[in-house]
Structure 1
Amino acid sequence: MSYNNPMHRPSPRLVLGLLAWGLAVAVGVQRAERAVHSFDNAADLPPERRRDDGNNGHAQIDFGGQWVMGRMVATGHARQLYDRTVQRPVVREAFPESAESPWARRHEPAAGVKPWSDDDPRHDAESMMHWFVGRDSPDGAKAVGGPLYPPVHGFVMAPLGMLPDPHVAYRVLQVVLFAVVAFIGLGVRRLSDGRIAWPVAVAFAFFFTGCEAALDLAQNSAVTVLILVWGWVLVKNDRDVAGGVVWGLLVYKPLWGATFFLVPLMMGRFRFCAAMVLTGAGLAAMTLPVVGVETWRDWLAVGKEASELYNLNRNWVFLSRDLFGLPRRILIDTSLPESQRGRLDATLLGWALWGFVFTGTAFVFLRHAARRVPTGPLAGFAFLGAYLCCYRFIYYDAFVAAFPLAVLFANPSRLIGPKWWDGLRSVPVLIVAALLLLENHFSPWQYELIGTSLNAGVDYPWDTVLLLGLWAWLGVKLSRAKAQGRPSLGFRPESTDYLLGGEIGC
């Protein structure tokens, strides 16, 4: 067939669509390959140190903690969900020593070896119980502890908990999460009225900070993004009650639910808020006949202990991405015993930074009359401020920031400008580009400054710093727009947005 005839030539729309889907599939395949092999035996390990099952992703706390909760519910231990004396035999059965390396099976912890290091031959079950909050009681009595998730999360994970092998459950959840990312992309397309093409949104999600780690570890931040995006799609379609019901599912991650709840509340979407609260409360109440009231009290005790540990433990401090962690990582001396690390100035600075973002978000947002508009610069600014104000979260939860950015860029021409090349000098686009580069290209980068090593690895919260900068830029621009009597940032909403997908009908 000749393509000299214009009638026979493929349309630019079709070509762009195929290229976009090719990119999304290629990135998805690369991420899948990494997720499957992330925790394989290292190639340079001697045979004695190689695990017999070949991979220990399922034995990491990130997936393992979730699965153990589901297993406790599935095996009839819902009322002992946070009892370490009941958790321990469940964990031992699920993580047998036969799956470990010969070295781990034959050796015992030696004097002078740093506990829980690579040279400390602890078994998977012992490591899991060590990572859980709390410590065993010396007399065998009930000891409250375990994963940080609320009882509702145990029911969410119960179907996977019915699988007796956590390694199989780990792979199943990874497959589910890849499907979740695909549906996040579809939700972004709906949220943007097709301005952001489905494959472009999927590729962006795969590239975005925190996504790769969440897929590798089979962590649940992608599910949180899915709930947020599709609940807000319903709001955009004037279905506030249905959207609130969807957001009520965030009771499984109550910190994120409470954080983002503030935005529809400031918007005056009270039907949405009521539906969200009633759904969340209803789901929590449905667990009571199975878990009892005491289990919920135990969860609060676990959360309190974890919150105190979060302020002092080096691992949690440096993996954190919340505002409180920014001054803490600078001021706390991690060479001291944990009991001596507490610093009032780190706490006060953290609260001051949090208070600045919280009050700044409310002040700028509530001054605008168009605050009920569900997408665009103003709504994106509010959701970005809410994200930054989440009390506690770590590096793979940074994927949740994809939701505020989806709201922000839902109509890109209002933010970037009427022409696609305006994006090359747009501050929001440049900041997002920096996020993607840091996540996907510069992780090996390292720099020495005044005796301090800086790098782009998970110990450094560059994503939080960049998103804080984007929040500040939006706040200034929106304040100026309000002072000048403009409803948004001044760009025409009707222009074609080819930079982010344009009119590709995918």
Structure 2
Amino acid sequence: MAALIDALRTGRWLTRERVRLVAAAVLIASLAGLVWLAATSDGLNDHQGRPLGTDFSNVYAAGTYVLDGKAAAPFDPARQFAREQAIFGPATQFYGWHYPPFFLGLAALLATMPYWLALLVWQASTLGLYLWAMRGVAGRAEPLWLLLAVAFPAVVINLGQGHNGFLTAALMGGALLQLDRRPILAGILIGLLAYKPQFGLLVPLVLAASGRWRVFAAAAATVALMTLAVTLAFGVEVWSAFLASSKFTREVVLEQGGTGWHKIQSVFSWVRMWSGGVPLAYAVQGAVSLAVAVSLAWLWRSAAPFALKAAALMIGTLLATPYSLDYDLMLLAPALAFLAVDGFERGFAPWQKTLLAALWFMPLVARSLAEATLIPLAAPLMLAAFALLLHRASVETGPAERWRFATGGVK
């Protein structure tokens, strides 16, 4: 037992050969599953009668409404469901539209194509953007980066569900890569994250804490321009429709668990899955979000290595929102890449290699394990990783840095 604990602590069990073998096995199994799914479909629905790319069906349906001149319609669940049934058949289940109006233009563009082509274009283009970001983080430092990036289990989840995790990871990872070299570009990429606003709440905090005001201004200008463009294109009513639909998203999807507690990988869902009430879930989530925000403000004002700051922001982003699903775990990919590169350059902390391996593998089993046993994996593992990050940064920056933050000093 002592030998096992020591191996986990040092991470010496995680050899390059084992990493390559496991990643290749996951990739082959993922590709086989996707090929089988496509081969047994009719080009529109899979063998179970679900739309190919499942959740992408709501993007396509919303886009058809925009092309019909009814941009506010997707925000009405009944009308959105009716359009999905009209396209995919009366047996299809409901896939809700929960995005702000920023996403409508892209949805309309995709809806100009046949469904299968739109899905292929969406998946290929956003996967390419994700790989671009991953190459920027790890491509020069780690020869296995491409295998690990493609085989990351959240990738097959996104491909199977036709979701937007690739785009989210690319925007966040790309923005962090450009933060100091091209601050205006970084701000634009951050502004584009407004299509999923729950993942942009902590970014202004760290930009302000670290004094990156050019990035902050570029991000704000990007959101303002997108807001103006959407209003001019679709009318003011799309905003009132979006705000009205947020009640359905909050009450039915989040608080009542309409999506399924096992699918939502947050502290909020963890409390609800264990029969905690809505007020308790909000209280626990609020406490975690506040702790993450304060910790990130300290970290980004400190002299800690940038890789620790970048990884902490992405992990903290997932922890701070009550609404993140398993496909959103794509944000862990660039976070893991930053931490791996930093570990190779400066050495790995005790338990770090084992924790990184667990985080990499976790999306493959997080949903099914929670559904079968009510045991969450994502939130506890991310909390452990975030705590380890803070501990390492605290040890390395020393008491002088902690004092400067506590007294309001700048690094």
TM tier, smaller: 0.7 to 0.9
- SS for the counterpart of 1:157 is helix
Tell me the alpha carbon deviations over residues 63-105 of structure 1, each in whole angstroms, 9 at most, x when there is no partner: 11111122222333224342456545533431245xxxxxxxx
- Give the CA RMSD over aligned residues: 3.6
Alignment of structure 1 residues 333-352 onto 2, 5 Å = 342-352=277-287
Tell me the alpha carbon deviations over residues 414-440 of structure 1, each in whole angstroms, 9 at most, x when there is no partner: 55x2xxxxx5x7422210112234445
C-alpha distance 261-404 of structure 1, shift in aligned 2 (>3 A) = farther
Query: What CA distance in whole angstroms lies between the structure 2 residues aligned with 1:437 and 1:251?
Result: 28
TM, length-normalised to structure 1 = 0.66
Q: Which of 395, 402, 412 is the matching residue for 2:326?
A: 395
The answer to whether the aligner puts 1:325 opposite 2:269 as a matched pair is yes
User: Residue in 1 aligned with 2:87?
Assistant: 94
Deviates more, 1:77-86 or 1:286-295: 77-86
- SS for the counterpart of 1:376 is helix
Query: What CA distance in whole angstroms lies between the structure 1 residues aligned with 2:37 and 2:175?
Result: 32
CA positional deviation for 1:272 = 0.3
Alignment of structure 1 residues 220-369 onto 2, 5 Å = 220-236=164-180, 238-309=181-252, 310-313=254-257, 315-332=259-276, 342-366=277-301, 368=302
Task: Say whether the 8 Å CA contact 1:70–1:157 is kept in structure 2.
Answer: yes
The letter of the residue matching 1:346 is: A
Q: Which of 458, 471, 480 is the matching residue for 2:386?
A: 471
Identity %: 22
CA positional deviation for 1:227 = 1.3
User: Residue in 2 aligned with 1:481?
Assistant: 396
CA positional deviation for 1:23 = 10
Query: What CA distance in whole angstroms lies between the structure 2 residues aligned with 1:275 and 1:83?
Result: 33
CA positional deviation for 1:177 = 4.1
- SS for the counterpart of 1:148 is coil
The answer to whether the aligner puts 1:153 opposite 2:96 as a matched pair is no
CA positional deviation for 1:280 = 1.7
User: Residue in 2 aligned with 1:105?
Assistant: none
Task: Say whether the 8 Å CA contact 1:213–1:396 is kept in structure 2.
Answer: yes
Q: Which of 160, 168, 189 is the matching residue for 1:216?
A: 160
CA positional deviation for 1:203 = 2.0
Task: Say whether the 8 Å CA contact 1:78–1:290 is kept in structure 2.
Answer: no
CA positional deviation for 1:463 = 2.4
Give the helix-richer structure, 1 or 2.
2
CA positional deviation for 1:241 = 1.1
The answer to whether the aligner puts 1:174 opposite 2:123 as a matched pair is yes
Alignment of structure 1 residues 20-39 onto 2, 5 Å = 31-38=30-37
C-alpha distance 35-183 of structure 1, shift in aligned 2 (>3 A) = farther
The answer to whether the aligner puts 1:80 opposite 2:73 as a matched pair is yes
The letter of the residue matching 2:244 is: A
- SS for the counterpart of 2:384 is helix
C-alpha distance 264-56 of structure 1, shift in aligned 2 (>3 A) = farther
Query: What CA distance in whole angstroms lies between the structure 2 residues aligned with 1:52 and 1:263?
Result: 43
The letter of the residue matching 2:354 is: L
The answer to whether the aligner puts 1:434 opposite 2:335 as a matched pair is no
- SS for the counterpart of 2:202 is helix
CA positional deviation for 1:60 = 6.3
Query: What CA distance in whole angstroms lies between the structure 2 residues aligned with 1:477 and 1:53?
Result: 47
Task: Say whether the 8 Å CA contact 2:307–2:342 is kept in structure 1.
Answer: yes
Query: What CA distance in whole angstroms lies between the structure 2 residues aligned with 1:352 and 1:170?
Result: 39
CA positional deviation for 1:24 = 8.4
Tell me the alpha carbon deviations over residues 247-286 of structure 1, each in whole angstroms, 9 at most, x when there is no partner: 2211222221233333223221110011011112211210
C-alpha distance 208-21 of structure 1, shift in aligned 2 (>3 A) = closer
User: Residue in 1 aligned with 2:11?
Assistant: none
Query: What CA distance in whole angstroms lies between the structure 2 residues aligned with 1:96 and 1:254?
Result: 32
C-alpha distance 383-436 of structure 1, shift in aligned 2 (>3 A) = closer
Q: How many residues align?
A: 383
Query: What CA distance in whole angstroms lies between the structure 2 residues aligned with 1:351 and 1:52?
Result: 40
Work out which of the two has the higher radius of gyration on C-alpha atoms and give 1 or 2.
1
Structure 1 gaps, min length 5: 1-19, 43-50, 98-122, 133-146, 333-341, 418-422, 488-506
CA positional deviation for 1:201 = 2.4
C-alpha distance 278-386 of structure 1, shift in aligned 2 (>3 A) = same
C-alpha distance 175-56 of structure 1, shift in aligned 2 (>3 A) = farther
